[in-house]
């Protein structure tokens, strides 16, 4: 409901209503994964245009001092390569750029954790683009069937020690994002925007855990994380539309968001 409220507020603003006074927000993380340090094509993965190098090996210190925590394999995919399936992965809309990160769902429980301090802010806001990849079989297709669609689960945990972790302990909030089945070598992006309730954290330290719970294999990109006084603060939900009907018709493009409080 907080997601929908943010969209409708944007619609009212687009129709000429007076702009509301916005509460404070800060950007905690903004990453498009376009600058992996030392990406090696095929390293450890057995698949072309895909590498199993640790996320921290490729994206550590982006920004300065930031580190990830992962369980099992969180991979980096070269979208603009030409080896996978003999032609490379195709991104017709350019959503994912040259690189994205991915994980397995059914073969093993890959997890990715991102830890931050939200200070005194009540909301932890998260924007992400997801896609399935290679679901229709064929050489190199990663562990999925044609009927699968990717479902990513995002959980926000209290992290009173402020350490790098994949998450655990007290669950503050969570939500799921469901994508669509893609063609063999084509990404099919779905965008999700979440406003998680971080007000129950012990001292502002929280961890966002990312888990692919269905779909065999899925990729993610374009992370934007903010902390704010109001839900969605610091994240533009949709571009300013030409009219309210166009905005409401476009809601389906954000996929299925299911939000539950812990």
pLDDT, tens digit, 9 for 90 and up, residues 151-208:
999 999 999 999 999 999 999 999 999 998 888 788 999 999 999 999 999 999 999 9
Instruction: Find the domain containing 181 and state its range.
Output: 2-16+25-261
Q: At 251, which CATH number?
A: 2.60.120.260
Nearest CA among 177, 234, 237 for reference residue 208: 177
Any idea which of 24-28, 138-142, 147-151 has the lowest mean pLDDT?
A: 138-142
Between residues 120 and 135, which one has the greater pLDDT?
120
45-77 CB burial, b ≥16 within 10 A, e <16: bebbbbbbbbbbebbeebeeebebbbbebbbbb
> In this predicted structure, what is the pLDDT of residue 223?
98
Q: How far is CA 228 from the centre of its chain?
A: 18
Q: How far is CA 100 from the centre of its chain?
A: 10
C-beta of residue 40 within 8 angstroms of C-beta of residue 50? no
Strands 50-51 and 256-261, by their bridges, are: unpaired
Between residues 237 and 63, which one has the greater pLDDT?
63
Banded pLDDT at 85 (limits 50, 70, 90): confident
Banded pLDDT at 142 (limits 50, 70, 90): low
Number of domains in the chain: 1
User: Tens of pLDDT along 1-44?
Assistant: 333 333 323 322 233 344 444 459 999 999 999 999 999 999 99
**CA–CA separation, 221 and 34 (whole Å):** 9
> In this predicted structure, what is the pLDDT of residue 147?
60
């Amino acid at each position: 409901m907080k997601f929908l409220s943010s969209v409708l507020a944007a619609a009212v603003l687009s129709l000429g209503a007076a702009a509301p006074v916005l509460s404070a927000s800060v950007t905690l993380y903004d990453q498009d994964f376009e600058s992996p340090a030392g990406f090696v094509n095929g390293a450890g993965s057995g698949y072309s245009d895909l590498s199993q190098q640790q996320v921290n090996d490729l994206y550590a210190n982006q920004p300065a001092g930031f580190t990830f925590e992962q369980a099992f394999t969180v991979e980096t995919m070269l979208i603009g390569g030409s080896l996978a399936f003999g032609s490379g992965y195709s991104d017709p809309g350019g959503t994912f750029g040259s690189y994205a990160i991915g994980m397995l769902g059914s073969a093993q429980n890959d997890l990715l954790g991102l830890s931050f301090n939200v200070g005194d802010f009540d909301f932890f806001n998260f924007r992400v683009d997801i896609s399935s990849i290679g679901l229709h079989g064929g050489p190199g297709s990663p562990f999925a069937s044609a009927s699968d669609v990717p479902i990513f689960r995002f959980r926000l945990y209290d992290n009173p020690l402020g350490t790098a972790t994949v998450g655990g302990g007290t669950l503050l909030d969570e939500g799921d994002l469901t994508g669509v089945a893609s063609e063999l070598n084509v990404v099919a992006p779905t965008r999700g925007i979440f406003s998680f309730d971080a007000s129950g954290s012990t001292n502002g330290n929280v961890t966002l855990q990312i888990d692919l719970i269905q779909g065999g294999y899925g990729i993610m990109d374009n992370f934007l994380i903010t902390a704010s006084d109001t839900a969605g603060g610091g994240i533009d939900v949709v571009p300013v539309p030409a009219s309210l009907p166009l905005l409401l018709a476009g809601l389906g493009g954000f996929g299925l968001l299911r939000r539950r409080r812990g």
